[in-house]
Amino acid sequence: MKILAIDTSCDETSAAITEHKIIHSNIVWSQSSLHSSFGGVLPSLAQRQHQERIDFVVQKALKNAFPRHTIYGILHTKIDAIAVTVGPGLAVALAVGVNYAKDLALKYKKPLIPVNHIEAHLLSPFAQPKNKMLKMQMPNFPTLGLVLSGGTTILCLIKNIGEYEILANTADDALGEALDKAARLLGLGYPGGAILEKFAKLGDPNKYKLPVPLIGDVVKNRFSYSGLKTAFVRLFESIKNPTKQDIYDLAARFQNSAFKHIERVLEYQISHKPYVISHMLFGGGVAANVELRKRLRKICKNNNIIMHTPYSLKLCGDNAGMIGVTAYLNNKMLNAKKLKAKYGGKKFIESVDINPKLKL
């Protein structure tokens, strides 16, 4: 099953060609530098950028995967289905990808598979690069799933593909959002997670005091970052004329408290697991963080759990490759005829719509 996948959920315009779990091409056009001067994503700018870029990005994804074919020939003969992110995300951004995908599906008479962006982050460790088979030990379900990104902080039980039980969700901010806000306060720019990571490496996490969220709480089925954020603002304001070293130390302290929270909830959920768990899938933009990976891998190892992350850092952030792989994993039992019957009707394609608040 060869899929043309499209994702425009936030500030990345992305298109990919996937075949089963293999990613043949994965083009990501990031707008983050355009949004950085606003300190966050500006919806009207994101919408305009997606509209201007989507055709180019899709054509490039097709060209990279099939260099010797014409674009229109490929769509007719090589692509079996189109997959598109319908949510969650920024409404005006999602709409650009969904409308574009609908037009293509109707024009070229291809099935259109709607995909949940959070599920795609969750399943992104299944993706395989072309030219190289990764030796990924297939997890036996149920398995743990952790998605940490700019909009999502979810620990879940994957009972099967498409069957998820939320074990812990955030009550307020997502981890990525909290890291971005901390970075902005320190004047490090947007998006801040990766920059904060670099600064934190040079800092002493014990120089300043900052609480670990919900430290006195016995209920370990939720995350919360709003209290930490407020405490961090207060701490920052209490330091007169911070030096460069202070900024490093503050970055290290914030990361430490924010990550400790994830570790505590994960440890609690593992020790209260309802089944024997031997694998954990970990995806989302924050999964690119080396320090966090190291900490979570240690917890997993201590509990005989193998942690799987995406095969490249590009696959941690928003990208259409994971959308194509997720569309395949949810429909791998369908042959071409059944795929057409489920997703190929004109009425069905026309009914596909954005759902900015879509849940896992």
Q: How far is the CB of 286 from ligand KG4 (least distance, A)?
A: 4
Choices 49-57, 266-274, 278-286, 352-360; region in contact with ligand KG4 by CB under 6 A: 278-286
Find, among 134, 145, 141, 174, the residue nearest to 311 by Cα: 134
Q: Peptide bond before 274: cis, by omega within 30 degrees of 0?
A: no
CB atoms near residue 297 (< 10 Å):
16
Q: Is 326 in the site for ligand KG4 (CB under 6 A)?
A: no
Q: Which of residues 195-214 bind ligand KG4 (CB under 6 A)?
A: 197
Please identify which residue in 270, 288, 296, 354 interacts with ligand KG4, judged by CB under 6 A.
Answer: 288
Q: Is 125 in the site for ligand KG4 (CB under 6 A)?
A: no
Q: Do 138 and 123 touch, CB atoms closer than 8 A?
A: no
Q: Which of residues 151-170 bind ligand KG4 (CB under 6 A)?
A: 151
Nearer to ligand KG4, 81 or 179 (CB): 179
Nearer to ligand KG4, 142 or 310 (CB): 310
Q: How far is the CB of 271 from ligand KG4 (least distance, A)?
A: 26
Nearer to ligand KG4, 62 or 228 (CB): 228
Q: Is 149 in the site for ligand KG4 (CB under 6 A)?
A: yes
Q: Which residues contact 284 (CB under 8 A, 6 or more apart)?
A: 121, 146, 147, 148, 149, 152, 176, 316
Q: How far is the CB of 349 from ligand KG4 (least distance, A)?
A: 25
| 3-state DSSP helix/strand/coil % of the chain, to nearest 5 | 50, 20, 35
C-beta pairs of 158-164 under 8 Å, 24+ apart in sequence: 158/122, 158/281, 161/123, 161/329, 161/330, 162/119, 162/330, 164/119, 164/122, 164/360
Distances (CA, A) of 318 to 9, 87, 344: 8, 12, 26
Please identify which residue in 4, 186, 286, 296 interacts with ligand KG4, judged by CB under 6 A.
Answer: 286
What is the sign of the dihedral through the CA atoms of 111, 116, 122 and 125?
positive
Q: Is 145 in the site for ligand KG4 (CB under 6 A)?
A: no
Choices 105-113, 162-170, 188-196, 238-246; region in contact with ligand KG4 by CB under 6 A: 188-196
Please identify which residue in 176, 203, 310, 321 interacts with ligand KG4, judged by CB under 6 A.
Answer: 176
Please identify which residue in 114, 317, 321, 344 interacts with ligand KG4, judged by CB under 6 A.
Answer: 317
- Token pair listed for 194: 């990766």
Q: Is 191 in the site for ligand KG4 (CB under 6 A)?
A: yes
Find, among 102, 62, 53, the residue nearest to 82 by Cα: 102
- Strand, coil or helix: 82: strand
- CA angle in degrees (0–180, nearest 5) for 334-335-341: 75
Q: Is 285 in the site for ligand KG4 (CB under 6 A)?
A: yes
Give dist(CA 18, CA 327) in Å, integer.
10
Q: Is 318 in the site for ligand KG4 (CB under 6 A)?
A: yes
What is the sign of the dihedral through the CA atoms of 15, 19, 20 and 24?
negative
Choices 14-22, 52-60, 172-180, 238-246; region in contact with ligand KG4 by CB under 6 A: 172-180
Nearer to ligand KG4, 111 or 125 (CB): 125
Please identify which residue in 1, 146, 179, 182 interacts with ligand KG4, judged by CB under 6 A.
Answer: 179
Give dist(CA 272, CA 257) in Å, integer.
23
Interface residue list for ligand KG4 (CB under 6 A): 10, 149-151, 176-177, 179-180, 191-194, 197, 284-286, 288-289, 317-318
